[in-house]
Amino acid sequence: MRVREPLGATQPGGSVELAVDTRGSAALAVDTHRSAALRSPRGRIGLAGLLITGLLISLSAAHTELLLPSSLRPVPGWLAGAFGHVGLDIGLPGLILALSLMFLSYALAVGATKQLSVRAVLASIAALNVLALIAPPLLSSDLFSYIAYGRLGAMYGINPYLHGPNLISFDPLYQLIGAQWTHTPTVYGPLFTALSYPLAGLGIAANVFAYKGIAALSCLVIVALTWQAARLRGMDPVKAVAFVGLNPVIIIYGVGGGHNDLLMLAILVAGIYVLLRQREGTGGAMIIAATAVKLTAGMLLPFALAAGAGRRFATSGRARLLTGAAVAAAAFCLLGLVLFGSGPLHLLGTLTGIQGDGGSHSITGFILNAVGLGRFNAPVGDVLHVAYAVILVWLIRKVWIGELDWITAAGWAVVGLLVSAGLLMPWYIAWLIPLAALSTDRRLWLTAIALTSLGLTSL
């Protein structure tokens, strides 16, 4: 009888090991270790800090202007959230303190997960999601753009891939859209744009909390799938889900801002999970489905294809992966053609234009502008893009020859993407977090934590 090797069995050093189901004994050992460590208060202090700062942000969001999108200042009562009546304004000093304490609490909790019970971690994740959900839209006007693109197509018959929301300036939603995006066509995939159409007929408030609800549900799905994937990879699932579910960027920006990045990540992590379960065809289809929400997800596919290149049955596994991806791609192309005509063909051009206009809203752009060399943004950006392409090829080759784990390599590829991006939004950091959580590379974990702190300082 032939035994297939799971896609996650390739170790970081390049050796291949058959999967032996020792999860029961491993989980027992982890639980025993965790129970013995519960006497230490560090982990509980971290969770308490996250909950207190999360509650403070939710309570004060409606009256602390820096927590609101610029287009939503002052926030109308019907978008103020559950705590809109509280009237608490913590101002800039209070916000800096709250976010600093939230980040430190996150780092403390993640570093002390063996001192935390499973119930405490999961309850804290759920509570943070609820607090972010019932707050008004936080920090970004993107979800108003989501609503606008849905209304363009569903209510006004305008192709959102060809035109921006400026064509519906008479719509009451228009004043809530970020001024810099009013002339910009959608940069999202056909699956997400199609999903926005049925929501278009709802009122603005209902739309806002629908997108925030989707983000919160997606976050919980990511947590559940990360738990299962971590167990399949022989990792501590509690630490993995704490790393993801307690992350302030995911909670404050992702759920609080109702960003579709979390929906994309939920589908992508589902793809990783089924690949670890040796369901290559389904995994390939899930990666393409995530790409049909947001194009970023597509970068995982070459790493999944390169994984296990030297293993038995790799050829048939890659064939199934490619077949699943191809079938899904054909389906979503057909969906795009039926709903949007040739509009999605303009997607890459729109996205490239936005990235080219990032300026100081990128890591290198910020540094160059700070030292008075902003005029070099464009040439430095071009050099970085070439360097990133080279690094991407190098990482894929390392996976192909069995010297690097594919999830870890994909995580480093995301780091390179974030560093070289012409426009870096704080919530983009969320792309890295699940990959880092499922990696055994401590350097990737530390990099993800460092980038989380960067995201929280980019208000």
Residue 383 has pLDDT above 50, yes or no: yes
Residue 226 pLDDT class (50, 70, 90 cuts): very high
**pLDDT tens digits for range 38-73:** 556 888 999 999 999 999 999 999 999 999 998 988
| pLDDT score for 55 | 97
Q: DSSP states of 330-377 as a string? A: HHHHHHHHHHHTTGGGGHHHHHHHHHHT-TTSSHHHHHHHHTT-GGGH
Bridge partners of 16? Answer: 10
| pLDDT score for 369 | 76
Residue 14 has pLDDT above 50, yes or no: no
Residue 36 pLDDT class (50, 70, 90 cuts): very low
Residue 8 pLDDT class (50, 70, 90 cuts): low
Mean pLDDT of 358-385: 75
Residue 110 has pLDDT above 80, yes or no: yes
CA distances to 154, 250, 271 from 254, rounded to whole Å, are: 25, 4, 20
- How far apart CA 235 and CA 30 sit, in angstroms, is 10
User: What's this model's pTM, rounded to 2 decimal places?
Assistant: 0.89
**pLDDT tens digits for range 112-151:** 998 889 999 999 999 999 999 999 999 999 999 999 999 9
**pLDDT tens digits for range 185-218:** 999 999 999 999 999 989 999 999 999 999 999 9
Structure tokens at 443: 């350097």
For residues 251 and 454, which has the higher predicted lDDT (pLDDT)?
Answer: 251
Percent of residues in the chain assigned helix, strand, coil, to nearest 5: 70, 0, 30
Residue 180 pLDDT class (50, 70, 90 cuts): confident
CA distances to 110, 412, 415, 436 from 446, rounded to whole Å, are: 11, 12, 12, 9
| pLDDT score for 27 | 45
The CB density around residue 166, as the number of other CB atoms within 10 Å, is: 13
Asked if 458 contacts 426 with a C-beta cutoff of 8 angstroms, the reply is: yes
Bridge partners of 10? Answer: 16
CA distances to 161, 251, 285, 329, 341 from 426, rounded to whole Å, are: 24, 12, 28, 29, 32
Residue 33 has pLDDT above 80, yes or no: no
Residues 6+ away with beta carbon under 8 Å from 303: 395, 396, 399, 406, 407, 409, 410, 413
Mean pLDDT of 69-92: 90
Residue 314 pLDDT class (50, 70, 90 cuts): low
Residues 6+ away with beta carbon under 8 Å from 64: 88, 89, 90, 91, 94, 95
Residues 6+ away with beta carbon under 8 Å from 339: 153, 190, 193, 194, 197
Structure tokens at 166: 């400026």
Residue-averaged pLDDT of the chain: 87
Residue 302 has pLDDT above 90, yes or no: yes
